[in-house]
Chain A
């Protein structure tokens, strides 16, 4: 049986003696007897490391992940350079707690500072926090920032946000007492400007997505102008991997840039851990939730990094804090930082351009198949919606048999397809050949 307790039975007895106790039970004499558990916990028997490995393999074998993936919808498969997991596996990083003691945590604090700089430079903003849990919680925190800085309790959001993000902000907004209003998309799959303009008065701000859930590129210049004309705030939810090719939030005047950095160096991991980012500027910096690393000097004048602006935080302000967040996703943030620094400016551009090219090639090939067409005539990044005459469920079941994970089926029967640099032309051609067979097979029936 595995035990991670080093002390032997003999040593434990000697330690008990040293403190004047006879048995382990004496340590728990403060606990009322009738509350104590009078049996062993009913859990599977302990096991050795070798048995554990076999057990886990048993679970893994119950999965059938398929070989080719054409699904995104908020979680994206990108190439992760080996340096990312290798460096994040340095246990000086991953076995540390939050850097409360700056003198022995300069590595982590500087890494946070570098992450903040990467996020600021990618989004075109002035200040970033050390991360939040994911994109959905970043959006939920952004709602609070908007309300607190504008002192208005109505917030608009785009129907083009990821549905999980929408469900999450609704959950949070209910507690905050914030009224959320959904701004629909028009027939081109982008924000309905008339609806936005009609709802902006009396609103704290608007959360837009770029690209949006359906892959479409929004006209953020127009959105920004409309939002700021009403003195409201613009929050831009962006896919960071798009920013090598798509304009940065800071460039069109967004007040807060948020998103999930999973596409930058984090494995899919069945949905987590990912990492939310939040960046802003000006006075809003003091409304940012959670940890922030700052540069300062030590007593001898050397450069040093510390956790700063802590007067916003729960451990100081308690019920007056800007958020309750304590732990964030630091190691994930380091991984995304290493990814961005490995790719550099040229790599980030190239990966974005490859995503655009692959997705457009996939869309073009799918559209050659009878009964399949692009829903929106709008520019897109690495995802797009296909309307299909053959039922989507039938398509995906048939693809599954061939080891292919097809596009995500939307509630209205459309399919949200995704291609990244990971999908080769050969794979895409194989997929579209199969799709053609499925559709033709369906017609013959």
Chain B
């Protein structure tokens, strides 16, 4: 299986070409001033088209996506990405973003309608589609919180409270938005510790960031008390929408008391993640935050959708143009395909699948919080496995050899040796059963032949990489040998 693979730069042969352009039909001009001219030949590969095509085709074969197999990466909601959505997204691809409004009514109307659907799904008053990803949405949402307090002259509210179970992006986004971060310890069940929260809030509280279901895959049963503690202290509630796939049509962040939130369209709304992006992170909010939303705002006037830039209290813009538009088209298509009933069905089956796996893990792996879970569950290696030296990493690598993408590992940080399994609604019962069998096999091998588990993966193009050297002596681009 082990097989290294040439870089495209190592396949270059001088003089080969894969491009052609029509002959220049206007006079060539020598317009660039001599001191700003690039006379040198750019260092880019030169290949024939077929070699280029084979390079990337074979490179894709050294990768693994949802289309290849089960991908239970917790918190990432790796559901199936419908093919029709890829096709319809292409219908808008030649549209320039600065077309006059009367030339782009279809695209603007689509965005306007999508904002409305997301508001209904989340129980929010309005949405902006501008942020490009989840973390970007967090930043934009926190900017709204900041602008809200500033407008009220409440300038002492400089702290965002974040539970220690939160995604790493939460504290990082809060700092980028200019806040201080106060981390609070979670209760033993992984939920918010109400006493710790009461102690943490005060006149400096700008808001609380919360994921619900939590990063442990459990619904925060005290959400109403949490909301009132924060609101009574004068703070706002931010909802991290990473786990929205558990609750569509069942309960809505707006109804739980959240003031502002983001959605990851590339998780809950089935848009493909592209191996690391593009995502899309629309931000929803209640009326009191609307004056601060980024421009342009889509408004309907006399049957036309217009781009309104005249918003005196706006935070400004967080991105060029209107967001990752083509990603939004895919999410729009997904919502229109499923309707309200289908979205609820998706969430129900996501939760069913997660509980089905969790149930089967009893007695195989440890389950730190064994109660009904939402769309994902957390398991850990047993004491006996760890005594044999088999840890979460090893289980993950053993899963790779069996054709599965491993769960999210070592997160949330508050669970030692966590494996966070999120099957999504896309998976059939037999896929889950086969995965469960694989987990059982690995658990048993961990006790009988731990060295074999620790030697995984064996069936991949590379073995375990040396990450320490990579960080100590970084090589981040190809340099042609002299």
Contacts and interface: CB of A to CB of B under 8 A. Distances in A.
A271 B323 contact: yes
Interface stretch (A105-113, A192-200, A368-376): A105-113
B27 interface: yes
Interface in A1-49: 1-7, 11-12, 14-16, 18-21, 24, 26-32, 35-37, 40-47, 49
A-B complex: 4 closest residue pairs judged by Cβ atoms:
A271-B321, A331-B274, A107-B63, A271-B97
Contact of A330 (B275, B406, B462): B275
B94 interface: yes
B244 interface: no
Contact of A380 (B31, B49, B94, B316): B31
Interface string B174-201: 1111100101000000000000000000
A97 B325 contact: no
B103 A66 contact: yes
Interface string B318-350: 111111111101000101111111111110110
Nearest to B133: A327
A175 interface: yes
A122 B143 CA distance: 35
Given A6-B426, A90-B56, A327-B133, A344 B177 contact: no
Nearest to B26: A361
Given A69-B96, A92-B60, A345 B425 contact: no
Contacts of B61: 92, 107
A152 to B, nearest CB: 17
Contacts of A170: 316
Interface stretch (B106-114, B229-237, B440-448): B106-114
A296 interface: yes
A62 B191 CA distance: 48
A93 B275 contact: yes
Interface in A68-99: 69, 71, 73-75, 77, 79, 81, 83, 86-87, 89-99
B465 interface: yes
A383 interface: no
Nearest to B403: A104
Contact of A92 (B25, B65, B181, B476): B65
Given A93-B65, A270-B96, 12 more contacts: A27-B348, A52-B337, A77-B96, A99-B276, A171-B294, A243-B38, A271-B322, A292-B476, A299-B466, A324-B139, A408-B98, A421-B21
Contacts of B178: 174-177
B35 to A, nearest CB: 5
B63 A105 contact: yes
Contact of B318 (A106, A116, A168): A168
Given A271-B320, A353-B28, A93 B63 contact: yes
Interface stretch (A227-235, A245-253, A435-443): A245-253
B372 to A, nearest CB: 6
Contacts of B22: 421, 424
B33 A296 contact: no
Given A171-B317, A246-B37, A379-B32, A65 B94 contact: yes
12 contacts: A5-B426, A27-B355, A62-B106, A96-B275, A144-B176, A219-B33, A243-B38, A341-B18, A347-B19, A357-B29, A400-B100, A405-B103
Interface in A136-180: 136-137, 144, 162, 164-165, 167-168, 170-172, 174-177
Interface stretch (B165-173, B282-290, B382-390): B165-173
B413 to A, nearest CB: 9
A226 interface: no
Q: Interface majority SS on B: helix, strand, loop or mixed? A: loop
A344 B355 contact: no
Contact of A59 (B45, B109, B251, B273): B109
Given A35-B251, A87-B56, A96-B275, A43 B339 contact: yes
B345 A330 contact: no
A298 interface: yes
A390 interface: no
A221 interface: yes
Contacts of B339: 1, 41, 43-47
Interface in B92-122: 92-100, 102-107, 109-110, 117, 120-121
B76 interface: yes
B138 interface: yes
A284 interface: no
A366 interface: no
B460 interface: yes
Given A96-B65, A295-B470, A344 B18 contact: yes
A302 B37 contact: no
Interface residues of A, number: 209
A276 B110 CA distance: 25
Contacts of B42: 121-122, 243-244, 345, 348-349
Contacts of B471: 294, 308-311
B464 A245 contact: no
B41 A302 contact: no
Contacts of A428: 26
A73 to B, nearest CB: 6
Nearest to B464: A299
A15 B352 contact: yes
Nearest to B371: A30
B405 interface: yes
A272 B322 contact: yes
Contacts of A30: 218-219, 221, 371-372, 374
A348 B44 contact: yes
A2 B32 contact: no
B324 A357 contact: no
A71 B67 contact: no
A269 B92 contact: yes
B152 interface: no
Contacts of B143: 171, 175
Contacts of B467: 296, 306, 308
A136 B36 CA distance: 24
B1 to A, nearest CB: 10
Contacts of A296: 465-467, 469-470, 475
A294 B475 contact: yes
Nearest to A126: B477
A332 B272 CA distance: 12
Contact of B462 (A73, A102, A137, A270): A102
A350 B78 CA distance: 42
A445 interface: no
A258 interface: no
Given A128-B476, A405-B96, A303 B4 contact: yes
B132 A273 contact: yes
A255 interface: no
Nearest to A210: B36
Given A90-B57, A297-B466, A15 B19 contact: no
A279 B73 CA distance: 30
B203 interface: no
A4 B355 contact: no
A27 B339 CA distance: 21
A283 interface: no
Nearest to A122: B42
A81 B53 CA distance: 12
Q: Which of A27, A291, A317 has the most CB of B within 10 A?
A: A27
